[in-house]
Structure 1
Amino acid sequence: MSAAVLHPFQAELRATLRLAGPLALANLLQMAVFATDVMFVARLGQQALAASSLAVALIAVLMMGLNGVTGACAPLIAADIGRRSNAVREVRRSTRMALWLAVALGLAGIGLCQFATGFMLATGQEPELAREGGKFLGILSVAMLPMAVANVLRTFVSAMGRPVFATVITALSILVNIAGDYALVFGHFGAPRLELTGAAIASIITASSTVVAYVVAILTDRRLRRFHVFGRWWRPEWHRLRRMLVLGLPISGTLIAEGGLFSGAAFVMGRVGEAQLAAHTVALQIAAFAFQVPFGIGQAATIRVGYHYGAGNREGVGHAGWASIAVGMTFMSVSALAMFTMPRLILSAYVDVSDQANAAMVGYALSYLFIAAIFQLTDGLQAVAAGVLRGIQDTRVPMLIALTGYWLAGFATSVALGLFTRLGGVGVWIGLAVGLTVAAALLVARWHRRGHFAGLAAA
């Protein structure tokens, strides 16, 4: 059957898969970059893994917030293209202002990370863990600047119909990161053995090489080159910058609320016990790995819905949104089944499950993975629903929903059950499930009622 005679929903489903596939794969590959760090650091011992997890928990929240602001260029670019396919000037302005924000916020993030040790101590972490984690984060934070720039360039190439560039570049970054970790963490290839410091330096090298790769790709591709996104980089576009902040700050608040839920859980887990924190780190890596697919679908949904929103196509907006949700739910059903049926096999990719020294950590991790399997559907649903709402440039109410779901419901439950009952770490993970479920239900309800606030018919 040709695309010309497909039902509009089926056609949109295909278009969403074509865009979401490379983006989801790029997200999975990015998680593989992070996973290689965990695998190398885990071999330095439980304390090194716990210390690095505290640092990564903090920088993850900061990067989510930063990428939320700069990521507002995605719905803006998509809407401009939807209104006029040859919107070269508008796309260039949005990308340029997003790069400005990436540099400014990246530098601010580096400055904040220098106070990490004091923050960790203030949250009740063990002094040695806080000192080691703070030192690690102080170096790792330098990677925030190139990571922020790379995220903007990735958004640009994806919105321009070149998402495969993100996939290829991220795949290459895995090789760079593995080589850097192998050389600098354990002292191979004639490099000094730097352990945690080496892992941080390897991350900086990887992020910087990723930016270089995107620049080369943009300058060598005929379609991308004509936008001249690096031309007149010093020229401000204040109206576009203000619009990006209006949309981006609530997106940032939403992502910080979500990331803060998981990072906050890590700090709660640090007070429960070191073995529980190490198990939480590994289990969360696995859950986060699966989450990258619906997150990529949500990114694609923002662009697909944004195209139709800019064109004033009400029916297209509805088809694009529901198609994205259907794709996300299908995948998360598969990932939930995998976690239910083979948790030990999945866990063995990160730690030696047969080593008696890891017995306690493995036991805790298996319990957490069981809960993760339960909340896979709602985790994916909230990610895609947030993406489709961004496509119609609805960001303020979703931010309030995130704060309500993740913190008033989720984090409060984690603290109550984790610190004041015998459930301990399991209680913390029950709180994560509660927060994700509440947020998912409210976001889908918001999407269903979009015609009441966005001038759209309920298609």
Structure 2
Amino acid sequence: MSYSAHARALWVLGLPLIGSNLAQMTLHVTDTVMLGWYGTAELAAVVLGSSTFFIIFILGSGFALAVTPLVASALGRGDETRVRRDTRMGMWLSVLFGLCVLPLTFWSGKVLAALGQEPEVARLGQDYLRTAGFGMIPALLIMVLKSFLSAFERAGIVLWATLAGVGLNIVLNWMLIFGNWGAPELGVQGAALASVATQILTLAVLVAYAARHPVLAPYRIFRRFWRPDPPAMAQVFRLGWPIGLTGLFESGLFTATAIMMGWIGAVELASHGIALELAAIAFMVHLGLSNAATVRIGRAYGQGDVRGLRDGAATAMAMSLVFGVVVVAVFLAFPVPLIELFLDPSNPQAGDIVAYGTALLAVAALFQVADATQVMGLGLLRGVHDTRAPMIIASVSYWLIGIPTSYLLAFKAGMGGVGLWLGLVVGLVCAASLLMLRFWRGLWLADKPGAPTSGTPA
């Protein structure tokens, strides 16, 4: 298979994944934009609340993400039963996790206040999370089904379902945040309600598709769903918990930065939220390519195709790098118009937010290539069922290097928010370098990798 053929295959699979990631990101962007029109305190609270929701979600999504390489490898071996068992237990673990963390979201106000947030921001953040927490289970189940569908290279439905959700979210936000069309004015709680309703709709569409599509229906992933499968659950758990912790370490780097930015002030936190939204939009493209690479590498790994594994990995890296360079150019050339999209010009603090956000966006341009490389490294390693070593790499890079560097530069060196973001750059560069070194020196690139059938991490 030529490099151009690999690129086409990655693009065909990756494009709907990128689109669905961007559409999913749009849900958060619309919340940020509309609450930016509503008020600075509300915007800061949702930046903090959604960051907290996201970090909990990322921890739980490890079980869902484990479904992608497990199902892809099973399909490469032609093991239909393994596909059904792993997908079903991915859903079980996701539901159990969602139930366990619901109390944490309900009593989050005291936690946020203890982390040094302003009392009003902490109170509003709790209001948001108390409602948004009920969307955790449907959000995680969406991830499981997205992983299942991606492994079959049928991610188009995820894109269309998410786009429909975006439209619903915008309408509900307009009604419930501002109290339009006779609805109550609920502010941050309205944004949370809109998000939960959107997640339920998206889940319903994906369930119907997976159950009824002629190619997918024979796998019967919902048949006797209530029956436990301890061996399959153990397999998904073994592969998934390191993925969840890896995501926690990475997202925790950004959440810790948001918390420390809150120590500086509400304007700075709002600026941080906007700049981070823009960086995250670009990241969704890299994440989609990484997810596609996991499927392609997983298929090759299951088939024992070393050349396809190697060439597919190189192609995915090149595609992600090219886009990263384009994003750097956009962030440096058009920072002010991008930031102003998130603000009401009549807001008296808009000028301060734009000025501070412009500086942060310049730093965000610095870590684009490193961020793209590290997420691609994670995707490639997941494709060969290697998840524990990336977890260790992430913990060292982000928590032993990135966060301490952010704190020292911001508060000891007096660089403020810019220093916080420079610490992000340091952590991401370390992770990217170590992950790529791990993949390209792995035994899976030997002549006969011998993909395991048990799903145990390599």
TM-score (norm 1): 0.95
Please show how residues 333-348 of structure 1 align to structure 2 within 5 Å.
333-348=325-340
- Aligned residue pair count: 449
The aligned counterpart of 1:450 is 442
The aligned counterpart of 2:456 is none
Q: Indicate whether 1:360 and 2:352 are aligned.
A: yes
Q: Indicate whether 1:53 and 2:43 are aligned.
A: no
Give 1:319 deviation, angstroms. Answer: 1.4
DSSP-derived class of the 1:394 partner: coil
Q: Indicate whether 1:284 and 2:262 are aligned.
A: no
Which ranges of 4 or more aligned residues in structure 1 deviate by more than 3 Å? 352-356, 452-457
Q: Indicate whether 1:62 and 2:56 are aligned.
A: yes
Provide Cα deviations, 1:113-158, integer angstroms capped at 9, x if missing partner.
1221111121111122212211221111111111011111111111
Decide which of 411, 416, 427 is 1:435's aligned counterpart.
Answer: 427
The one-letter code matched in structure 2 to 1:63 is F
The aligned counterpart of 2:264 is 272
The aligned counterpart of 2:106 is 114
For 2:76 and 2:321, the matched residues in 1 are separated by 27
Give 1:363 deviation, angstroms. Answer: 0.8
Q: Is the 8 A contact 1:250 1:396 kept in 2?
A: yes
Specify every segment of 5 or more residues in structure 1 that has no aligned partner in the other structure, as ranges.
1-6
C-alpha RMSD of the superposition = 1.5
DSSP-derived class of the 1:222 partner: coil
Give 1:449 deviation, angstroms. Answer: 0.5
Specify every segment of 5 or more residues in structure 2 that has no aligned partner in the other structure, as ranges.
450-458
The aligned counterpart of 1:3 is none
Q: Is the 8 A contact 1:272 1:418 kept in 2?
A: no
For 1:413 and 1:170, the matched residues in 2 are separated by 37
For 1:24 and 1:189, the matched residues in 2 are separated by 34
Give 1:358 deviation, angstroms. Answer: 1.0
The aligned counterpart of 1:92 is 84
DSSP-derived class of the 2:219 partner: coil
The aligned counterpart of 1:20 is 14
Which is worse superposed, 424-433 or 321-330?
321-330
Give 1:454 deviation, angstroms. Answer: 7.9
The aligned counterpart of 1:404 is 396
Give 1:420 deviation, angstroms. Answer: 2.1
The one-letter code matched in structure 2 to 1:73 is V
Q: Is the 8 A contact 1:309 1:392 kept in 2?
A: yes
The one-letter code matched in structure 2 to 1:176 is L
Decide which of 290, 294, 301 is 1:309's aligned counterpart.
Answer: 301
The aligned counterpart of 2:187 is 195
For 1:455 and 1:111, the matched residues in 2 are separated by 50
Q: Is the 8 A contact 1:261 1:410 kept in 2?
A: yes
Which is worse superposed, 293-302 or 217-226?
217-226
Please show how residues 55-454 of structure 1 align to structure 2 within 5 Å.
55-84=49-78, 87-352=79-344, 357-451=349-443
DSSP-derived class of the 2:349 partner: helix
Identity, % of aligned positions: 36
For 1:442 and 1:456, the matched residues in 2 are separated by 24
DSSP-derived class of the 1:71 partner: helix
For 1:37 and 1:304, the matched residues in 2 are separated by 34
Decide which of 28, 49, 55 is 1:34's aligned counterpart.
Answer: 28
DSSP-derived class of the 1:186 partner: coil
Provide Cα deviations, 1:25-67, integer angstroms capped at 9, x if missing partner.
1101111111111111111211111111111111110111111
TM-score (norm 2): 0.95
Q: Is the 8 A contact 2:36 2:344 kept in 1?
A: no
